[in-house]
Amino acid sequence: MNVELPGGSLEEPADARPLPGWVHWLRQGENLLVTLALGLMVALPCLEIVLRRFFQSGVPGSAPVVQHLVLLVSMLGGAIAARQNRLLSISTLSQALRGHWRGAAVLFSHAFGAAICVFLCLSSIPVVQQERLRGAVVAWGIPSWVIQISLTVGYGLVAVRLLWHAARRWRGRLGPWG
C-alpha cells in the first residue's frame, strides 16, 4: 500500500534495509487502519449531510464516532511519523552540529522525547482503565475505552520509535552505557 501525501508517502525510503515479513505486515496494517479511519471520518459527515437533506434523518452517533476517530488518527499519525523519523522538531541545533556533537544532540533530543512519551503512555493507562470501569459507549455499542487505548499504544509506539532512530547502532541507542 503506497499512500501518496504532499510530503511523500507512507512507505519507507527506498534505501531502507529490507524488513522481516511480519514487520512489513504490521506497517501495512498500521497504514490501512489510519486510512480506514480517515475514510470513515470523511464518509460519516458526508452521509449525514445527504441523509439530513433528502431523508430528514441522520446517522445516529456519528458526531462522537468522528470525534473519537480524530483521537485514533492523531495517535496513529504520530506513530507513523515517528516510524519514518519525520516528527517535527522545535530545535534545529542538531542540523547545525557535525560529527559526534550532532550524534549526541540527536540522541539527547530523541531520548528526551521518548521519556516524555513514556510518561504520557503510562499516564494514559489509568485514564483508559477508568473509562473501561465507567462503561461509556461512543456509539453503535463501541466502548469508548477501545478507542482511547490508542493513547497508550500510540505514545508507546512513538517512544520506541524515537529510541530506534536515536542512533544507527544499538550501542548508540544505549547512550553512554553501551
Alpha carbon distance 105, 139 (integer Å): 46
Full-model pTM: 0.80
What 8-state DSSP symbol labels residue 98?
Answer: -
**Other Cβ atoms closer than 10 A to 16:** 9
**Which residues are 24's β-sheet partners?**
none
Q: What are the tens digits of pLDDT across the range 27-41?
A: 999 999 999 999 999
**Other Cβ atoms closer than 10 A to 158:** 25
Lowest mean pLDDT among 45-59, 80-94, 136-150: 80-94
Lowest mean pLDDT among 14-28, 32-46, 75-89, 141-155: 14-28
**pLDDT of amino acid 3:** 45
Phi and psi angles of residue 142, each rounded to the nearest 5 degrees, phi first: -85, 115
**Other Cβ atoms closer than 10 A to 4:** 9
> Residue 95, CB half-sphere, CA atoms under 13 Å: how many?
4
Q: Are the C-beta atoms of residues 148 and 126 closer than 8 Å to each other? A: no
